Amino acid sequence: MDLPDLTERLGDYVRILRRRADASQREMAVLAGISTATISGLESARITDVRLRTFARLAGAGGCRIVLIDHDGGFVEPYPGVVPLLDAGDRRLPAHLDPRKWIEPSHWTPPHGPLTFDRDRAERDRRRAE
């Protein structure tokens, strides 16, 4: 699926959102809670980089929302209802590594939470294939 580059067409998207909201730049600024200068700058390509939160506000004001779409055209969503997995120090476990229950080895290890992960990606891939 050939997807447009958002950064190259940012001004076009802002104009589309404003049209959907049936709003002038000033009205859109009020709806989105951002400055008129930001909207003007985005539409004229004077501003080519925008915070995600700002663009999300514009999208919301235009009756849209931001989603991720993979190369096959499918939606990419976070795992719904999943509480982030934390270690004993309340740090999130790495998202790209698969957490698993800790099996206490026979030698001494420092205290930690009930979950661990393998840093070795080959080991991770082997476990995923099982």
DSSP string, 56-75: HHHHHHTT----EE-TTS-E
pLDDT computed for residue 23 by the predictor: 96
Residues 88 and 64 placed together within one structural domain of the fold? no
| pTM recorded for the entire structure | 0.63
pLDDT computed for residue 3 by the predictor: 59
**Tokens for 59?**
């999208």
Residues 24 and 61 placed together within one structural domain of the fold? yes
Cα–Cα distance, 60 to 55 (Å, whole number): 9
**Tokens for 89?**
């120090």
Q: How many residues does the chain have?
A: 130
Cα–Cα distance, 39 to 42 (Å, whole number): 5
Cβ proximity of 15 and 40 under 8 Å: no
Kindly state whether residue 126 falls inside one of the protein's structural domains. Answer: yes
Instruction: Output the tens digit of pLDDT for each of the chain's 130 residues.
Output: 565 677 788 999 999 999 999 999 999 999 999 999 999 999 999 998 899 999 999 999 999 999 888 888 888 877 655 667 776 677 777 777 777 776 666 555 555 566 677 778 888 788 778 8
- CA angle, 3 as apex, 37 and 75 as ends, to 5°? 95
CATH of the domain at 19: 1.10.260.40
**Number of domains making up the chain:** 2
Which domain, by its residues, includes 29? 10-69
Kindly state whether residue 77 falls inside one of the protein's structural domains. Answer: no
Residues 45 and 94 placed together within one structural domain of the fold? no
Kindly state whether residue 51 falls inside one of the protein's structural domains. Answer: yes
Last residue of a domain, one of 23, 41, 69: 69
Kindly state whether residue 4 falls inside one of the protein's structural domains. Answer: no
